[in-house]
Structure 1
């Protein structure tokens, strides 16, 4: 089906079904699963593409395909919280901040820590598979998802998984929709696995002079019996944002979360190892101050609800073997310095996920594009990937957002064709598919 544009006539058709307060010029506000299904049926009839989203903070660039956004941000209900089973079922528009607030009195938490939890919705986190530095200990988004309700392009609503932790019925369909970016259906309900809130948490900052020496030290930590919640290698600009000092060209930020004696024991071990390696454990934060470090790191990630005026912002995600993280960051730093661009970057030495945020004036857009191309060539030579997650000021039209195709790309296209043969949901939003 060829995508068509929204007109006054077909918008009026939808408003007569949903109510005028739910339909704007380029946005549909769904308030229930029934609204989502009606919007899909309308899209089938009119040939208009739907772009499912939460609050649109991390909206993905999709090119010039005409269509209308389907916002689920008004679907904010907590359907069921089974505290004894450590599970909760919610609608997709609930923000992570609000959900964690609901769970906090029960001493429980959702083990997901993507940035900007005040605007990141549960459905958005699931659809984009967004995680944070504590992915090292807490796992991926799909590890926290027990079940979903999804409205398909046919208008049919399906349930994947279940509402209990032990669920082994057939194929794990959850993984099909986690990270699919709304290209296969609109998530209308999420059942999630919870964890107890750790009694204590700490962050240690290990200052270093080179990427290599910190990577070697981190490998000793990761190969040990210690259980860090996060091990992030950061450049000097990020170190300054986190700790307020500019004494280090790069650093290692290590997190722990456990009972108080266990956290203290691990900090002591880290301190002693640092002395042995000639490194200095320069910073230490506990409790709320430790949580604040991770929040500050998350705030370095740009989003569409907070545009930068007069400057461009570019956010890349690098995916490599965890042993290659330091190499990726070092290459990114050297290249940005050569182009005289402002770069904030950090990467998980246990996960292989790196984040690079480039800032500059509009007249530096050409240098930014060259920087992306050079970095991507280097990373793809390592058999890794570089994906553009955010691009402002028209940069998205000058840069390939995805780079080389992922393994199994043809299989993904076949799944998309089978579930959405008429192209109701956005093409190009995931891997260029």
Structure 2
């Protein structure tokens, strides 16, 4: 029995039989191990590699429904107890943190130094920094913050054979050689287990406001012209997110298209940018300005609008799916229009960044309704020259579709890297593109 075998390298209290609470989403393990040191992580991987055991990696569990064609592996490696700050240099504005640390815990610690990590993931109290980096997650504030790839300056990784490597460094000005960090960020834990992450920081803003601009009619050219004028100006919104009527109603009470425009800076600069917005308002639009406390509450609610694989454990009658879509900036308008069309047959909430073109749609309905809507959306996005990735879907339905979309022409390079790093394919088996 594998539980008996693995207790030879881990204390028995760190090995638990999986209760199979997450059958709906898959990505389970016959047993779950809870290492507390990098050495224990390495020993578990080495054991699995030498004994032909498959390993799935889990942080906070929010992304359990993201990818994965295997319902249960031999071992589930939990990073829940591998937490804490390793090194923080406030003067250099860098921090090194263990991968199992939740994003909220990290931000709460940094707030004492008036600093923060410039990322905005969903469910921050559950999401671990390791999971965020492994999936390259970002939110609406990507416009001003950038993605995970822009925040990471160094990684410690444990390879499947138990060896530990370091990529990047611990200082911002680290430009020598190939940026190996980018190889691991977004690889969904298929190349190694993220042990530690070194991130560059930014100061907490002195002031923040959120402008909500709602349009009582369908999306008009005036709205498009407003966005172009704003993006072509010297203003610096950290978010310029278009909300579909359904999600706008949930968050703002307004059942209409809305723009969420976020500004972060010193108070005088924020107010100056607010006045600029007022000076270019489209005719017929409805303006609301939320001060800092209300803006923070809005974003807290926003980051909880998607399903959470850590708490959505029991099978339910309604099937949920989350799609990540990438299109050209102004094609976001077309994506939101498709949401309105589909709203007649399925529950759908959508939002998209008008400065970066990334959209997220949450669908709810029966299995057939959800799968039909996904197929329709994928065709629309393909016609626009974009891509669609399924970020959340029950395990049974992931068997019936290609979560990552079409296999790209460069897939042989990804496959070659996987074969070189993990020849026995023990890590997150079939979790990533092309069944890697």
TM-score, reference length from structure 1? 0.93
Whether the 8 Å contact between 1:312 and 1:393 is mirrored in structure 2 is no
> Unaligned 5+ residue runs, structure 1?
1-7
In structure 2, which of residues 155, 162, 166 is the aligned counterpart of residue 155 of structure 1?
A: 162
Residue aligned with 1:24, SS:
strand
Report if the CA contact (8 A) 1:243-1:283 is conserved. Answer: no
1:401 Cα shift? 1.3
Name the structure 1 match of 2:369.
367
Q: Say which SS state the counterpart of residue 426 (structure 1) adopts.
A: coil
Contact 2:319-2:370 at 8 Å conserved across structures: no
> How many residues matched?
416
Q: Distance in 2 between matches of 1:78 and 1:42?
A: 28
CA distance in 1, matches of 2:124, 2:424: 34
Question: Which position in structure 1 is the counterpart of 2:336?
Answer: 329
CA offset at residue 298 of structure 1?
A: 1.2
The one of 210, 215, 227 aligned to 2:218: 210
Q: What is the deviation of 1:322?
A: 1.4
Distance in 2 (alpha carbons) for counterparts of 1:161 and 1:211: 45
How far apart are 1:65 and its partner, in Å? 6.2
Contact 2:244 2:339 in 1 (8 A): no
Cα distance in 2, alignment partners of residues 191 and 390 from structure 1:
28
Match of 1:42 in 2: 47
Partner of 2:237: 228
Instruction: Indicate how the Cα distance of structure 1 residues 296 and 48 shifts in structure 2: closer, same or farther if over 3 A, else same.
Output: same
Query: Closer, same or farther in 2 for the Cα pair 1:407/1:258, shift >3 Å?
Result: farther
**Mapped partners of 1:28, 1:116: distance in 2:** 24
Given that residues 183 and 416 in structure 1 are in contact (C-alpha distance below 8 angstroms), is that contact kept between their aligned partners in structure 2?
yes
Match among 235, 243, 254 for residue 245 of structure 1? 254
Counterpart of 2:398 in structure 1 is 396
Matches within 5 A, 1:3-152: 8=1, 10-25=2-17, 26-59=31-64, 60-64=66-70, 66-67=72-73, 68-152=75-159
Q: Residue 281 of structure 1: CA displacement?
A: 4.0
Deviates more, 1:95-104 or 1:21-30: 21-30
* Segment of structure 1 superposing worse, 256-265 or 301-310: 301-310
Paired residue secondary structure (2:112): helix
CA contact (8 A) 1:52 1:182 kept: yes
Q: CA deviation at 1:244?
A: 2.5
Contact 1:126 1:141 in 2 (8 A): yes
Shift of 1:379: 0.7
Where is the helix percentage greater, Structure 1 or Structure 2?
A: 1
1:318 aligns with 325
The CA deviation at 1:212 is 4.4
Preserved contact between residue 315 and residue 358 of structure 1 (Cα < 8 Å): yes
State the alpha-carbon separation in 1 of the partners of residues 165 and 220 from structure 2. Answer: 49
Q: Is the 8 A contact 1:241 1:296 kept in 2?
A: no
> Following the alignment from structure 1 to structure 2, what is the Cα–Cα distance between the partners of residues 160 and 53?
22
Which structure would you say has the larger RCO, counting Cα contacts within 8 Å and 6 or more residues apart? 2
| CA RMSD after TM alignment | 1.5
Structure 1 CA distance for aligned equivalents of residues 224 and 183 of structure 2: 34
Query: Once the 2 structures are TM-superposed, how far is the Cα of residue 223 of structure 1 from its aligned partner?
Result: 1.3
